[in-house]
Chains A and B, each alone.
Chain A
């Protein structure tokens, strides 16, 4: 049994195929969706998406968004979605290190919460890209 997975970003449809299963980074932890999953909707955080097509396993880094699961139809709406083969690992690593350095610099200073969250977001994005790229 397969599920219909559609990944939509503002820049276009990133993925639209029948797959075996998909693992998504929900705000309350990662969750997997198989055929016959309960109908629900949830917010997603920046992280890694894993798609099992049956023939292969695909990894992608996704940013914040939400997902809808409805009778074997899964719709994922995210700001960006990059598949492992599209990610330049070296650049992703550099970005992750830079983001980490920025975060550490902030520790101890009483800079605004806004900036901290911004850095945090940049860091988790970078980490998601690195892990996706390494696995793929």
Chain B
């Protein structure tokens, strides 16, 4: 029989843990709201950009951009893996890492070499031990567009220089507070057609200045930046949602644990009292 003091101490420690997990749950819930707002704020931009991109694609079929051109030889593939910086969010990061490993395995046949760019500390740690990590971005507190621009520039510079012949982006897509699914999107060569499907109504401009190619020079990098930005936002919202769910069940589990420990404590207390009574009675009888 464990002694009373030990059980009491355990109950105290579980209660403390419960306080922490429920606080984390609330923080995650608040952050999730903000992350969702950011996703919604990005929508009008996405709609406009894809509409314009589609418009240009339609009227100027010969317009070309280096980021749209597939390379003849497929030598190096860069896989960009997006995870969170912190753990304690259930299986969230391991899903993304698993999906990335799968991509690496599958593409291994087509490309000679596969390199990884990690966004988020979890990805950096995981792939740091396994493959070539070209660059790692960690410690982004809140996602800003500038973060995405930096990553996009890194990729497009390497693509243009012929250092890489393709890029795939792996991240968790935020579907709801309960579900996040890992996604693998091809970033480079960028395909316009795919994106245009999402476009809304289009405004038909009569004149493009200076010409469609110049506009494409602005639009294509923007589309790349935006695709990365969106992944970062999705990842951020997904992280908080996953943490919220994980912390909720942790809080519930500790509640169960407290209950069973309290039961154990009461039993032990009763046993002790009974024992004392028996001792007193038998002592009195002996007299």
Contacts and interface: CB of A to CB of B under 8 A. Distances in A.
Given A8-B44, A11-B144, A79 B225 contact: yes
A9 B45 contact: yes
B207 A39 contact: yes
Contact of A64 (B52, B148, B218): B218
Interface stretch (B85-93, B209-217, B237-245): B209-217
For chain B, give the interface size range.
20 to 34
B195 to A, nearest CB: 15
B42 A41 contact: no
A120 interface: no
Given A9-B145, A10-B42, A41-B207, A68 B52 contact: yes
For chain A, give the interface size range.
20 to 34
A38 B207 contact: yes
A57 interface: no
A66 B223 CA distance: 12
Contact of A42 (B41, B148, B153, B209): B209
Interface of B: 38, 41-42, 44-45, 48-49, 52, 144-146, 148-149, 153, 157, 161, 203, 205-210, 214-215, 217-219, 222, 225-226, 229
Interface of A: 8-13, 26-28, 38-44, 64-66, 68-70, 75, 77, 79-80, 114, 118
27 contacts: A8-B45, A10-B148, A10-B225, A11-B41, A11-B42, A11-B144, A11-B145, A12-B38, A12-B41, A27-B210, A28-B209, A38-B206, A38-B207, A39-B206, A40-B209, A41-B52, A41-B205, A41-B209, A42-B208, A42-B215, A43-B210, A65-B222, A66-B219, A77-B45, A77-B48, A77-B52, A79-B145
